[in-house]
Structure 1
């Protein structure tokens, strides 16, 4: 039997031990190289683009020779106004990518000895940066589409005679949402959140190429897809695969997302479901990538992302 990738040595190329051994100066240099890879890690003024700067070593800042603007390596990124050390930031990213089914902010707060609020906002900033990779993605080839419902739990009544069928729409809490995944065969995954599965058709029109072939299940919400694409359906009440037509990769995505919800986070608030759905898609797309490369991908995306308008000052607004 072939060994699973996560069990092999190829999957482990970066450890927390290596992060803490490198020290603060090496971690800082790593962030500089991620911020300005086109200049070999040497600072570039974010205001005027000048490549000549002075180093203010006492504060780890730079001063532009041309416009005299002072800035740091995290200025203008999602890590702007940070308080964590560069070593702790890098360690947090490694902890984040090491969780195959995600990692809770509470566990990270214990591992790094930081407040839960800090870990919660930091991880959501990382999810936001990861989602930018698929902001303008267009899917082609064979695209599997499926929907899964999350949230809206209704507690059953104590007595059996008072219990109702919670699968019926008029017995739901009104908080249940549908995550729809569009996934290329051996390619990228693109999730989004809608109220009902059938509401996803406009998103499909925007994100799936007209020459693509769509595989979907028997859900009536997908009937409209036949008008615009070569669409094949499989009736899951009869069989899971019909002459090569299946949605197994979409189901694999939902398996990961449900394990994240039930086993790791235990509860995902409705307004943030899209963020966790995007994280699960990123983990599925990079499941055969070693953890060192994953960490650099996430860190690089974070250093390339602008200041988060949703998460900067989140707890000050929420309190």
Structure 2
């Protein structure tokens, strides 16, 4: 059976189509994503009036009621953008086309822009994507697991000087844990903590009452028995035990590891949560055509407010 990503159904948009549509068509596409309920016609973000004047020389609008001037990206995560609408749309397509993520360096080369521009843009897209899971919960059969990232300790050159890097006293203190709760055939939610035990409150906050939780033999998950019907599988002996497994959670970590090793090379630190959220989104939309994925990311970006974290990031204006 052919894999979905190899089928023609997975390819519904291409960079060729984006760059041949022209700036005007790209601009209309963003208008449609910003105001779908009004068929792309501008709606004043200040008073909600649907009657506006077009200031075509500057691609801006003026509200008939309150005289407020605004653009299609005003008040969104793309506010104060300097890139053309064609390049913005192309960046979204390139971003979703990377099954294991896209490096900011590669995006900067593809769009011929500065690395800083590509770095901030990709993180803005991740912030917009993360809004899809804000306040979400999971139920039914939920697989939970944790995986460690970052905190690499370089071994000493001489064998006699080397220490056991598994011991806490020989670690850097920068090691973090991504904890995931993945609903069978449903949503994937993740967070970043210092240990699996610290992730238990997160699991309780996102897993619905009455759900069945599947976990591995890690002692941190013993605390879940008091709140949920829990199935455990000892990976030292088998990966599935009478239907109990964490295979889908492991699939999520497989994608995140491949993002870390093959694409970004280093994703720990203050940005780990953003990359973990991106991996969740990619797992949940892995059977969605790239055109629909680009549309979802574009709409999410146009619905997201101005970023407090990434606005003026390189100017330290946050």
Asked if Structure 1 and Structure 2 have the same fold, meaning a TM-score greater than 0.5 normalized by the shorter chain, the answer is: yes
Equivalent in the alignment of 2:305? 306
User: Matched residue of 1:270: which SS?
Assistant: coil
Equivalent in the alignment of 1:261? 260
Equivalent in the alignment of 2:22? 23
- C-alpha distance in 1 between matches for 2:237 and 2:219: 16
User: Matched residue of 2:113: which SS?
Assistant: coil
- Alignment of structure 1 residues 1-319 onto 2, 5 Å: 2-317=1-316
- C-alpha distance in 1 between matches for 2:221 and 2:200: 7
Q: CA deviation at 1:168?
A: 1.7
Residues 93-117 of structure 1, C-alpha deviations (whole Å, 9 max, x = no match): 0000000000100000000000000
Q: CA deviation at 1:86?
A: 0.2
Instruction: Identify unmatched segments of 5+ residues in structure 2.
Output: none
Residues 176-222 of structure 1, C-alpha deviations (whole Å, 9 max, x = no match): 00000100000000010000001111111211111100000000000
- C-alpha distance in 2 between matches for 1:191 and 1:56: 44
User: Matched residue of 1:271: which SS?
Assistant: coil
Residues 268-299 of structure 1, C-alpha deviations (whole Å, 9 max, x = no match): 14100000000001000000001000000000
- C-alpha distance in 2 between matches for 1:104 and 1:284: 18
- C-alpha distance in 2 between matches for 1:269 and 1:224: 27
User: Matched residue of 1:179: which SS?
Assistant: strand
- Runs (4+) of structure 1 exceeding 2 A deviation are none
Residues 47-80 of structure 1, C-alpha deviations (whole Å, 9 max, x = no match): 0000000000000000000000000000000000
Q: CA deviation at 1:318?
A: 7.8
Instruction: Identify unmatched segments of 5+ residues in structure 1.
Output: none
CA RMSD of aligned residues (A): 1.0
User: Matched residue of 1:28: which SS?
Assistant: helix
CA contact (8 A) 2:149 2:268 kept: no
- C-alpha distance in 2 between matches for 1:165 and 1:64: 67
User: Matched residue of 1:143: which SS?
Assistant: strand
Per the normalisation by structure 1, the TM-score is 0.99
- C-alpha distance in 2 between matches for 1:45 and 1:289: 32
Residues 242-267 of structure 1, C-alpha deviations (whole Å, 9 max, x = no match): 00100000000000001100110011
CA contact (8 A) 2:214 2:231 kept: yes
User: Matched residue of 1:118: which SS?
Assistant: helix
